[in-house]
């Protein structure tokens, strides 16, 4: 499986054979791939697949060094495969990530594209994510739906198509890896599948409160809400305009927002208070207060 002539081989094998836990991620684009296949937005599909893994790697405070890819298509389409691989190679070269194996499969019983990636890395900073009482929450804006909740999107919109359905997931990885070297970032969460419920696993004797804030959800979220999705389901399914959350010391919050603004729109969205592990959200869609 590994080409011994390649310079990355020994490094990867050393990581795999090491007794210590190795940072790794596996994810794909899911049913969003149906829209990517129909619209032939293959570059955006690659960005989605990479973002889902790279953003999780930076939550682990790890730098990606290599990946496997598995591309599934509903028909044998050489042009599509070449475009996908060309874009994957381009993005990996930017970040010095080696592609050390891949598989392409044709499944005539599926109606969309799937790009799955398994990624391995090395720690930049060995530190557990924690959300501590008194911390300030900084939200970093999403580009829209990203790559989760598309089963619900398809259920609601059925055969209707919107450009928002193929907007790629933001890759926060590059900036976050710079950020953790400069500031004391206590906790981080990439808001993907499960949306804001993901925050619960980081909470012990504290509650996480998301208040009304300046990072307004994109129009597509209001449209979904107005089609009958409850406030609670919105925050359990979608990112609602926030793709990444940081938990930081109050005294660092302004400097971190200033550092992020060259690449992303970011702002304070809440705080950590004493409690018993609850996520409490003041909905951006109504006056409802959500708790789970």
Residue 7: what pLDDT?
53
- At 180 the three-state DSSP class reads helix
How many Cβ atoms from other residues are within 10 Å of residue 130's Cβ? 14
First-to-last CA distance in the chain? 45
What the block records as the tokens of 4 is 């011994």
Residue 2: what pLDDT?
41
Q: Where in the chain is the domain with CATH 3.90.650.10?
A: 136-291
Contacts of 21 (CB under 8 A, 6+ apart): none
Residue 234: what pLDDT?
97
Residue 288: what pLDDT?
96
Residue 204: what pLDDT?
83
Measured at the CA of 250, the angle between CA 247 and CA 256, to 5 degrees, comes to: 65
Q: Where in the chain is the domain with CATH 3.30.1330.10?
A: 9-123
Torsion of CA 181, 184, 187, 192, to 10 degrees: -40
CATH top class, domain 136-291: alpha beta
Q: Are 149 and 238 in contact (CB under 8 A)?
A: yes
Measured at the CA of 243, the angle between CA 61 and CA 258, to 5 degrees, comes to: 75
Which candidate, 268, 289, 290, places its Cα nearest to that of 137?
Answer: 268
Domain made up of 9-123: CATH architecture? 2-Layer Sandwich (3.30)
Residue 4: what pLDDT?
44
What the block records as the tokens of 204 is 């012990």
Residue 20: what pLDDT?
64
pLDDT of 16-59, one tens digit each? 555 567 899 999 999 999 999 999 999 999 999 999 999 999 99
CA distance 122 to 63: 5
Residue 193: what pLDDT?
87
Residue 226: what pLDDT?
97
Residues with pLDDT less than 50, the chain: 1-5
CA distance 185 to 268: 14
């Amino acid at each position: 499986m590994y080409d011994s002539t390649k310079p990355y081989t020994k490094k990867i094998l050393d990581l795999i054979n090491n007794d210590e836990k190795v940072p790794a991620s596996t994810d794909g684009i899911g049913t969003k791939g149906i829209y990517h296949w129909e619209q032939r937005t293959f570059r955006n599909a690659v960005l989605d697949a990479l973002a889902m893994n790279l953003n999780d790697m930076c939550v682990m405070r790890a730098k990606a060094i290599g990946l496997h890819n598995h591309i599934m298509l509903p028909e044998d389409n050489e042009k599509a495969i070449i475009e996908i691989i060309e874009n994957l190679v381009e993005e990996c070269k930017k970040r010095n990530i080696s592609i050390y194996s891949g598989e392409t499969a044709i499944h005539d019983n599926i109606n969309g594209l799937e790009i799955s990636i398994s990624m391995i890395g090395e720690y930049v900073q060995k530190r557990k994510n924690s959300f501590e009482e008194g911390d300030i929450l900084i939200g970093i804006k999403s580009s829209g739906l990203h790559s989760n909740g598309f089963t619900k999107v398809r259920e609601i919109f059925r055969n209707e198509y919107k450009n928002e359905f193929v907007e790629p997931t933001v890759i926060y990885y590059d900036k976050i890896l710079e950020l953790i070297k400069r500031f004391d970032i206590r906790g981080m969460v990439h808001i993907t599948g499960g949306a804001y419920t993901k925050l619960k696993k980081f909470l012990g004797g504290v509650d996480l409160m998301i208040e009304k804030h300046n990072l307004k959800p994109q129009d597509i979220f209001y449209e979904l809400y107005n089609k009958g999705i409850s406030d609670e389901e919105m925050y359990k399914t979608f990112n609602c305009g926030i793709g990444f959350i940081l938990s930081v010391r109050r005294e660092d919050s302004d400097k971190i927002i200033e550092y992020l603004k060259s690449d992303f729109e970011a702002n304070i969205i809440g705080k950590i208070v004493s409690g018993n592990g609850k996520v409490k959200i003041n909905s951006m869609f109504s006056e409802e207060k959500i708790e789970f």
